[in-house]
């Protein structure tokens, strides 16, 4: 086989030229385009990665915020529960105090009502007792309705202050009231007894008042002396119906 070196050389030159042409006009632009595309793809990948990272950071922040909000909600619920317990205890204590106050007030009102009823019953009993005593004393003999009270009246006159006794002795004739009409002897006896108590003779203005029941009363300028069953019963009724102030239970 015979080799044509000229033909082989020309073909080699053609190959070199073709490679140069391809390298100059095809390979380099294509390589540049590929490099540019790779750079664009890298940028896109970088941007995508940055976006993913940003999204992850946002998700992490949102998750942290959710956890924080949940913790804050739990704390708020605990604080609200504690405040509710405190308020509940406060309201319960107030309710207990109010119930105790109302109970004490009710007990005091009941005690006051019972005391008032007891006083009313005592008053009625005292009035009834005095009324019975009045009816019984009205049956005394006429002599007992005067004789037994002379000495007491004279002693009461003698016990008056000096000024009152001087007024009775020197003023207008004192009024002597009896439960019944006095006999002349009884009136003279009384005039003598009262005169001895006053230290001088006196004139008496006699009067009758059956409501005295029994006894005598002497009334003059500036002095009144009562020695009668009516006065005694009035004092007794006052004593029986007197109610000393009692503190509320």
* 152, part of any domain: yes
**188 and 228 share one domain:** yes
How many whole angstroms separate alpha carbon 60 and alpha carbon 55?
A: 8
Mean pLDDT on 183-205: 90
Domain shared by 143 and 101, yes or no: no
pLDDT of residue 247 exceeding 50, the answer is: no
- Does a structural domain hold residue 217? yes
One domain for residues 44 and 2: yes
Q: Please give the biggest Cα pair distance in the chain.
A: 211
Q: Quick one: 94 and 5 in the same domain?
A: yes
Q: Are residues 34 and 90 in the same domain?
A: yes
Res. 116 pLDDT band, cuts 50 70 90: low
Q: Helices 150-158 and 184-198, interaxial angle, to 10°?
A: 20
CATH number of the structural domain spanning residue 173: 3.30.2320
- The number of folded domains in the chain is 2
Last residue in a domain, options 83, 106, 129: 106
pLDDT digits (tens, 9 = 90+) for 134-165: 555 555 566 667 888 899 999 999 998 988 88
Bridge partners, 110 (sequence order): none
Tokens of 54: 């940003």
Residues 57 and 144 grouped into a single domain = no
**What is the span of the domain harbouring residue 213?**
138-241
Candidate ranges 25-34, 188-197, 220-229; pick with highest mean pLDDT = 188-197
Indicate if the pLDDT at residue 32 is higher than 50.
Answer: yes
Q: Are residues 98 and 171 in the same domain?
A: no
144, part of any domain: yes
Give yes or no for residue 248 having a pLDDT over 50: no
Whether residue 174 lies inside any domain: the answer is yes
Question: Which of the listed residues 85, 106, 127 is the one where a domain comes to its end?
Answer: 106
């Amino acid at each position: 086989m015979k080799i044509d070196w000229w033909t082989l050389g020309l073909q080699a030159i053609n190959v070199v030229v073709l490679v140069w042409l391809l390298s100059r006009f095809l390979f380099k632009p294509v390589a540049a385009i590929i490099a540019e595309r790779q750079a664009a793809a890298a940028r896109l990948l970088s941007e995508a990665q940055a976006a993913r990272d940003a999204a992850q950071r946002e998700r992490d922040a949102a998750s942290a915020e959710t956890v924080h909000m949940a913790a804050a909600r739990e704390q708020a619920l605990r604080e609200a529960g504690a405040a509710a317990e405190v308020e509940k205890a406060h309201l319960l204590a107030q309710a207990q105090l109010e119930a105790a106050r109302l109970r004490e007030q009710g007990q005091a009102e009941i005690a006051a009502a019972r005391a008032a009823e007891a006083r009313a019953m005592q008053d009625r009993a005292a009035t009834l007792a005095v009324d019975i005593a009045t009816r019984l004393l009205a049956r005394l003999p006429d002599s007992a309705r005067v004789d037994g009270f002379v000495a007491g009246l004279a002693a009461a006159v003698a016990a008056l202050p000096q000024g009152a006794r001087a007024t009775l002795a020197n003023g207008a004739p004192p009024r002597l009231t009896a439960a019944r009409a006095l006999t002349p002897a009884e009136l003279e006896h009384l005039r003598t007894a009262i005169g001895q108590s006053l230290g001088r003779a006196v004139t008496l203005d006699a009067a009758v008042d059956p409501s005295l029941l029994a006894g005598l009363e002497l009334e003059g300028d500036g002095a009144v002396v009562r020695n009668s069953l009516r006065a005694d019963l009035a004092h007794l009724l006052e004593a029986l119906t007197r109610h000393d102030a009692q503190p509320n239970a």
